[in-house]
Structure formats: structure tokens, C-alpha cells
Amino acid sequence: MKVYSMPERLKVFILLFSVLLIITFGSLLIIPFIPVSAHSFAFRLHNSWPPRGFLSWLIILFLISMITICLLFVCDVFKRKVVLTRDCIISKNVFSTQKLNFNEIKGFGVDYFTIYIETNTNSKKRLRINLMSLNRTDNLLQDLEMRFTNLDSLKPE
């Protein structure tokens, strides 16, 4: 069983960037609750935030959705992986886990930084693997070339 996951540098970058964004958007959410003195520049800013009416709800919704997206990125860092076993390929991410047995695979194709693993039947969706977000992608491509046909080499040019 071979496991291909995110490179450590990419994990650290996404974690740091997401945490900084969560702190930024979270601090914007708590601005209305911070007490300030009445004769300061911060008080004038404090009175203008949050805006009144529909815009205030829209801004709050935007901030909460951005925090949620950042939390999903953090979860995806730890969850995303491709597992190549003796009889199947498993692709895991935050929202789904796709499993294809080797007898269900027709072949694979490479398009820029993406591998598409095509299936024999229409009942299963093809597997899409992003090469930019995985470690040791050369080994993954070699394993796929040993077991399956490269559908790109079969296409006439």
C-alpha cells in the first residue's frame, strides 16, 4: 500500500495562511463589541462599523463564510491523500472518498497537472487527481504506467 499526501511545505503554507485569515476575519467580526473612549478616532470608526441595514448582514455573512472556507482548507490539509493498494485506488479529501478497483479502470490520462483515471462503466465517475497537491507524483505516475494504459498515447494527433 502506497500513500501519497500533501507535501509538508504546502501543508505549512496553507495552515499559516488559513490561520492568519481566520484571525483577520474573526477580528473584523468582534469590532462592534470592543469598548473605546468617546473622544478618539477609533470611536468614529467604531460608530461606522458595522454599517446599517442590508450591507451589515452581507458583510457578516461574508466574514463567516470566509472563516468557514479557511477551516475547510485546514481540514483538507490533513485529509487529502491518494492511496494505491494491491487491488484499488482510493482518493480522499474533505468532501468525498472515491474508490476504484483495478478491474473497473480503463486507463489514465495526464492533462497539465491533473491525472484522470477513466472507468470502464458509466456508473462510476472518473477519478481526478491534482498533481500539484501531492508528494512523490513521479512514483504515482510510474505505478499507474505499470498497471494501466496511458490513454494519452492512444490519441491520434
Q: How confident is the model at residue 17 (pLDDT cuts 50, 70, 90)?
A: very high
User: Strand pairing partners for 107?
Assistant: 118
* Secondary element (H or E) of residue 143: helix 137-147
Reply yes or no: is the peptide bond before residue 32 cis, omega within 30 of 0: no
pLDDT recorded at residue 150: 77
pLDDT recorded at residue 33: 75
The angle formed by the CA atoms of residues 132, 135 and 138, to the nearest 5 degrees, is 85
Domain ranges of the chain: 2-79, 94-149
Note the pLDDT tens digit of each residue in 21-48. Answer: 999 999 888 877 777 777 877 777 766 6
Stretch 12-17: mean pLDDT: 92
Helix and strand totals (H; E) in the chain: 5, 7
CA 136 centroid distance within chain: 18
- Which of 53-62, 71-80, 112-121, 140-149 holds the top average pLDDT? 71-80
Q: Is the pLDDT of residue 140 over 90?
A: no
Q: Which of 4-18, 58-72, 113-127 has the lowest mean pLDDT?
A: 113-127
> Quick check: helix, strand or coil at residue 83?
strand
Stretch 52-66: mean pLDDT: 82
Mean pLDDT over each residue of the chain, to the nearest integer: 83
What whole-number percentage of the chain has pLDDT above 70?
Answer: 90
pLDDT recorded at residue 154: 62
Contact predicate 6/77, CB 8 Å: yes
pLDDT recorded at residue 70: 93
Q: How confident is the model at residue 155 (pLDDT cuts 50, 70, 90)?
A: low
pLDDT recorded at residue 23: 94
